[in-house]
């Protein structure tokens, strides 16, 4: 009834496909939630939002279509952290972005926000390699790397935003028909669901 | 106590109850349809059906609050912010798990017909004869010939799309044109057919979605948002399909917020004289009278009503004289299968969101076919698709290259999971726990079920056979998966008031009549004497229409 965001079939397929793979978002933490978590653990300031917008826009920068900053990714990330993650993870991710900003200043002598794009990109690429290596080694019970959470929430928030859905991807709200083998050329964008 | 009199009372408005209401009203009976939850109007009641993705607050992710509020729903995909109101409030309606059991309930008009998976398959004599041939449980009192014309009837009205395959284990029906396998599925299907000499076949799912307009319903628009309620009426639900004709007769009274607490049994006539309800909002008690009662409240809740009825005569409830009421609970065990990568097809993409997948009908333990060390079998459901933006791209970090890559579709993947038959075990049972009460002070169900050796053996085969077929079809990096299964997770509860040939070993006769009260009929999943491996709802529809026809004919003859 059986058997869904996803309907059952889709959920089944997706489950089968993702088994042992990676999933974006808080399902990584299923079972680790604490319902009594204080919401204040993730109060976000204007500086936090500016930093998260800049981190998001470095992960998904503007090109022919706007990037993550344009979809308000900082506000999305803080909202998702507050509502979908437990206090422990909220604290860890928050500590992650505070450290990120401090390390950046130490290394480059100026703030992450407003720094040249190539410099920011290089810095976050190094952090991305670090999170990938951490995720490979970590035990299932260990929390994910803070930058992994930031990256996942950026990708989720961007590609499900109106800009992401209708400009970065293609969107047919009411397809009206089905073609199981439509022609596709490299460079064309995927259909949003 | 207020009393109103009807010809028939139908308890529950899901797939079975909707059908009972339609059939009985169309035959001229004045019918009271009782639903324990709120009303949901067709189209206008589907609050989120047209919400664009970017307006979904958490983009489908579960919040801590939802996780905390829904200790049962959170166990599977069903917990979603977009249709939370289509599931029963677990805090108001608790149950006891003597062993782990996932009970996903829809307490509103339409019940789980709004959220069902819509896969619709006929049973065959392979299924109806299995218990008798193997000495498992009790024999079904009917055979395929007794129900095939009723399958025709309900398929024609409900609108089932599917392909004609000529398979004895999965009889063809009165189908609308089939949906289409996608390009990868078509090729995989052809390779499987060739490799296994057509003893295994991958077909498009038979699904209760319209591929042509039907009556006032619009054909499926390939939005794949059925689970929110369809504003086009593209799939079968009580709201889209059975309630409108029932209403049109002028014979139907629908009463939401009506929790049926018992069937009122008259020991002088040895029949029911109606039902007693608790108004869920006012907590007032009412009695409604009728000549016949159809219990269609879902397998467990119809059984609950029986267990809470006529307890002065039968301590275990109405219909318990055989000792089988509440026993022989079944479900479909699943979440075992295989998946892999498909090379090529980079010049192809799917347009439209098909609310359906492929189906591989049972091929184990068929007459003259492959034999197994367990009995019965399973079928697979699955699909192929290109990966989306949530895929992991190991070689890319962050920035423009990642963005541009994720805007394009990824590699083709294919995956499938098997749905396996669960045998009827007497000890798998539900009972009333009178020490634990729900919001209305009513006793709750205690559920005590587990799968056994036959199912466990089958699960290994469910993985192996899936991987074997994918490998034979040239799929790469094939992975077997068993994601674990909790009883009930299939959301196909069946069997706690089974049909049978003998009142000593069954609760219902061959027309779904309670042996102990001939004007009481149970036509939902409770009536099942075995589970087969196919999705059961179509069979509930057929059995309900058949029982309604019988009931009216018996009423006219003065037999009930």
E strand or H helix at B472: helix B453-472
Query: Residue A4: pLDDT above 80?
Result: no
The whole-angstrom distance between B518's CA and the closest CA on chain A is: 30
Q: Which two tokens stand for residue B225?
A: 């948002």
CB of A31 within 8 Å of any CB in chain B? no
Residues of B in contact with A192 (CB under 8 A): 53
Strand-pairing partners, residue B6, are B290
The predicted model scores a pTM of 0.93
Q: What is the average per-residue pLDDT within B28-43?
A: 98
Residues of B in contact with A63 (CB under 8 A): 400, 403-404
CB of A168 within 8 Å of any CB in chain B? yes
Q: What is the average per-residue pLDDT within B177-187?
A: 98
Query: Cα(B178)–Cα(B176) distance, rounded to whole angstroms?
Result: 6
Exposed/middle/buried for residue A183 (C-beta within 10 Å: 0-12, 13-18, 19+): exposed
Q: Which two tokens stand for residue B26?
A: 């169309």
Chain length of chain A: 193
* pLDDT digits 0-9 by tens, B1-21: 457 999 999 999 999 999 999
For A:46-75, CB contacts with B below 8 A are: 58-61, 63, 67
Look up tokens 């634990």; give the residue: B436
* pLDDT digits 0-9 by tens, B299-317: 999 999 999 999 999 999 9
* pLDDT digits 0-9 by tens, A65-116: 999 999 999 999 999 999 999 999 999 999 999 999 999 999 999 999 999 9
Yes or no, beta carbons of B397 and A128 under 8 Å apart: yes
Among residues A30, A41, A61, the alpha carbon closest in space to that of A144 is found at A30
Query: Residue A36: pLDDT above 50?
Result: no
Query: Residue A24: pLDDT above 90?
Result: no
Phi, psi (rounded to 5 degrees) for B329: -65, 135
What does the pLDDT read at residue B440?
98
Could you give the count of Cα atoms lying within 13 Å of B483 in the half-sphere of its Cβ? 28
What is the percent of chain B with per-residue pLDDT over 70, rounded to a whole number?
Answer: 100
- Answer yes or no: are the C-beta atoms of B138 and B328 closer than 8 Å: no
CB of A85 within 8 Å of any CB in chain B? yes
pLDDT band at A43 (very low <50, low <70, confident <90, very high): low
Query: Cα(B56)–Cα(A45) distance, rounded to whole angstroms?
Result: 24
Q: What is the average per-residue pLDDT within B347-369?
A: 97
Residues of A in contact with B104 (CB under 8 A): 1
Q: How far is CA B76 from CA B58, B430, B479, in A?
A: 17, 22, 22
DSSP string, B395-433: T--SSHHHHHHHHS---EEEEEEEEEE----TT-EEEEE
Yes or no, beta carbons of B182 and A17 under 8 Å apart: no
Yes or no, beta carbons of A182 and B351 under 8 Å apart: yes
The interaxial angle of helices A73-84 and A87-108, nearest 10 deg, is 140
Phi, psi (rounded to 5 degrees) for B212: -145, 155
Nearest CA in chain A to B347: A184
Q: Is the dihedral of CA B152, B156, B162, B164 positive or negative?
A: positive
What does the pLDDT read at residue A17?
42
Nearest to A184 among B65, B117, B349 (CB): B349
Alpha helices in A85-187 (DSSP H): 87-108, 117-137, 146-159, 162-163
What is the percent of chain B with per-residue pLDDT over 90, rounded to a whole number?
Answer: 98
Q: How far is CA B460 from CA A12, B452, B480, in A?
A: 18, 13, 10
Exposed/middle/buried for residue A125 (C-beta within 10 Å: 0-12, 13-18, 19+): middle
Query: Cα(A148)–Cα(B481) distance, rounded to whole angstroms?
Result: 26
pLDDT band at A34 (very low <50, low <70, confident <90, very high): very low
Q: Testing the interface with A: which of B52, B60, B64 to mutate, by most A Cβ within 10 A?
A: B64
Query: Residue B244: pLDDT above 90?
Result: yes
Yes or no, beta carbons of B227 and A4 under 8 Å apart: yes
What does the pLDDT read at residue A12?
42
Task: State the pairing for strand pair B348-351/A179-183.
Answer: antiparallel
CB of A24 within 8 Å of any CB in chain B? yes
Among residues B451, B444, B445, B458, the alpha carbon closest in space to that of B428 is found at B451
Residues of A in contact with B110 (CB under 8 A): none
The whole-angstrom distance between B352's CA and the closest CA on chain A is: 5
Among residues A41, A57, A37, the alpha carbon closest in space to that of A49 is found at A57
Query: Cα(B151)–Cα(A62) distance, rounded to whole angstroms?
Result: 56
The whole-angstrom distance between A35's CA and the closest CA on chain B is: 6
Say which range, A27-36, B187-196, B272-281, has the weakest mean pLDDT. A27-36
Phi, psi (rounded to 5 degrees) for A167: -115, -45
Secondary structure class of B386 (helix, strand, coil): strand
Query: Cα(B378)–Cα(B357) distance, rounded to whole angstroms?
Result: 16
Nearest to B60 among A5, A86, A175 (CB): A5
Residues of B in contact with A23 (CB under 8 A): 390
Query: Cα(B520)–Cα(B453) distance, rounded to whole angstroms?
Result: 36
What does the pLDDT read at residue B34?
98
- Which residues have a Cβ under 8 Å from the Cβ of B162 and sit 6 or more positions away? B120, B172, B173, B175, B176, B178, B203, B204, B205, B206, B207
Among residues A193, A159, A169, A188, the alpha carbon closest in space to that of B352 is found at A193
Yes or no, beta carbons of B54 and A165 under 8 Å apart: yes
Query: Cα(A166)–Cα(A157) distance, rounded to whole angstroms?
Result: 13
The whole-angstrom distance between A115's CA and the closest CA on chain B is: 15
CB of A118 within 8 Å of any CB in chain B? no
Yes or no, beta carbons of B392 and A151 under 8 Å apart: no
Assembly ipTM: 0.94
Query: Residue A21: pLDDT above 50?
Result: no
Torsion angle of the four alpha carbons B504, B506, B512, B514, in this order, in degrees rounded to the nearest 10: 50
Phi, psi (rounded to 5 degrees) for B104: -105, 115
What does the pLDDT read at residue A11?
47
Secondary structure class of B322 (helix, strand, coil): coil
* pLDDT digits 0-9 by tens, A107-141: 999 999 999 999 999 999 999 999 999 999 988 88
Yes or no, beta carbons of A179 and B351 under 8 Å apart: yes
Residues of A in contact with B401 (CB under 8 A): none
Among residues B430, B350, B190, the alpha carbon closest in space to that of A177 is found at B350
Query: Residue B112: pLDDT above 70?
Result: yes
Query: Cα(B156)–Cα(B301) distance, rounded to whole angstroms?
Result: 29
CB of A129 within 8 Å of any CB in chain B? yes
Give, in degrees to the nearest 5, the angle at Cα B375 between B369 and B380: 70
Q: Which two tokens stand for residue A137?
A: 């080694």
Q: What is the average per-residue pLDDT within B458-478?
A: 98
Nearest to B349 among A6, A25, A182 (CB): A182
Q: How many CB atoms lie within 10 A of CB B399?
A: 22
Query: Cα(B226)–Cα(B89) distance, rounded to whole angstroms?
Result: 21
What does the pLDDT read at residue A33?
29
What is the percent of chain A with per-residue pLDDT over 70, rounded to a whole number?
Answer: 78
* pLDDT digits 0-9 by tens, B80-108: 999 999 999 999 999 999 999 999 999 99
């Amino acid at each position: 009834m059986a058997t869904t965001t996803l309907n059952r079939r889709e959920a089944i397929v997706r489950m089968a496909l993702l088994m042992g793979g990676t999933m974006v978002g808080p399902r990584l933490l299923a079972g680790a939630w604490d319902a009594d978590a204080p919401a204040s653990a993730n109060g976000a300031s204007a500086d936090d939002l500016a930093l998260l917008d800049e981190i998001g826009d470095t992960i998904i920068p503007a090109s022919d279509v706007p990037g993550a900053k344009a979809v308000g990714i900082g506000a999305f990330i803080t909202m998702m952290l507050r509502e979908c993650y437990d206090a422990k993870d909220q604290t860890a991710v928050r500590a992650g972005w505070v450290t990120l900003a401090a390390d950046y200043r130490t290394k480059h002598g100026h703030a992450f926000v407003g720094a040249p794009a190539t410099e920011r990109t290089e810095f976050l690429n190094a952090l991305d390699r670090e999170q990938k290596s951490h995720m490979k080694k970590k035990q299932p019970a260990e929390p994910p790397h803070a930058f992994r959470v930031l990256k996942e929430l950026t990708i989720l928030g961007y590609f499900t935003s109106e800009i992401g859905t209708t400009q970065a991807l293609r969107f047919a709200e009411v397809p009206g028909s089905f073609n199981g083998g439509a022609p596709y050329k490299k460079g064309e964008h995927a259909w949003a669901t | 106590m207020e009393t109103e009199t009807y010809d028939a009372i139908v308890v529950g408005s899901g797939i079975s109850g909707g059908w009972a209401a339609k059939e009985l009203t169309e035959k001229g009976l004045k019918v009271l349809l009782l639903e324990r939850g709120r009303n949901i109007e067709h189209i206008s009641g589907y609050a989120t059906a047209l919400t664009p993705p970017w307006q979904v607050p958490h983009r489908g992710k579960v919040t801590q609050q939802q996780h905390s509020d829904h200790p049962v729903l959170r166990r599977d995909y069903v917990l979603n912010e977009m249709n939370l109101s289509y599931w029963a409030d677990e805090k108001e309606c608790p149950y006891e798990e003597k062993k782990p059991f996932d009970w996903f309930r829809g307490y509103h008009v339409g019940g789980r017909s709004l959220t069902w998976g819509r896969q619709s398959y006929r049973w065959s004599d392979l299924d109806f004869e299995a218990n008798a041939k193997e000495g498992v449980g009790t024999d079904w009192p009917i055979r395929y010939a007794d129900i095939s014309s009723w399958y025709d009837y309900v398929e024609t009205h409900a609108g089932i799309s599917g392909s004609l395959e000529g398979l004895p284990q999965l009889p063809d029906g009165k189908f609308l044109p089939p949906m289409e396998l996608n390009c990868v599925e078509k090729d995989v299907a052809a390779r499987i057919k060739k490799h296994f000499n057509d003893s295994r076949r991958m077909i498009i799912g038979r699904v209760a979605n319209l591929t042509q307009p039907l009556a006032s319903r619009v054909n499926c628009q390939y939005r794949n948002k059925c689970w929110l309620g369809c504003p086009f009426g593209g799939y079968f639900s009580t709201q889209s399909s059975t309630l409108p004709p029932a209403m049109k007769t002028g014979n139907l009274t629908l009463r939401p917020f009506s929790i049926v607490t018992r069937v009122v049994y008259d020991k002088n006539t040895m029949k029911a004289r109606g039902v007693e309800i608790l108004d869920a909002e006012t907590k007032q008690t009412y009695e409604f009278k009728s000549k016949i009662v159809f219990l269609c409240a879902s397998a467990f809740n119809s059984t609950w009503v029986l267990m809470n009825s006529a307890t002065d005569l039968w301590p275990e409830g109405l219909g318990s004289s055989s000792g089988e009421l509440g026993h022989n609970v079944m479900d479909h065990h699943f979440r075992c299968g295989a998946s892999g990568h498909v090379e090529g097809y980079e010049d192809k993409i799917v347009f439209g969101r098909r609310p359906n997948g492929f189906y591989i009908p049972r091929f184990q333990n068929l007459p003259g076919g492959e034999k197994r060390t367990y009995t019965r079998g399973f079928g697979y459901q699955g699909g192929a698709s290109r990966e989306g933006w949530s895929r992991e791209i190991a070689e890319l970090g962050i920035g423009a290259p990642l963005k541009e890559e994720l805007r394009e579709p990824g590699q083709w993947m294919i995956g499938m999971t098997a749905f396996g038959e669960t045998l009827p075990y007497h000890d798998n049972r539900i009972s009333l726990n009178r020490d634990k009460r729900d919001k209305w002070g009513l006793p709750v169900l205690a559920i005590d079920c587990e799968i056994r050796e036959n199912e466990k053996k089958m699960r290994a085969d469910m993985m192996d056979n899936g991987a074997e077929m994918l490998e034979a079809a040239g799929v790469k990096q094939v992975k077997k998966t068993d994601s674990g299964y909790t009883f009930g997770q299939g959301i196909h509860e069946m069997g706690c008031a089974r049909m049978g040939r003998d009142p000593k070993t069954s609760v219902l006769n061959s027309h779904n009549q309670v042996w102990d009260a001939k004007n009481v009929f149970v036509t939902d999943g409770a009536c099942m004497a075995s589970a087969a491996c196919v999705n059961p709802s179509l069979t509930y529809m057929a059995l309900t229409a058949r029982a309604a026809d019988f009931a009216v004919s018996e009423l006219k003859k003065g037999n009930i």
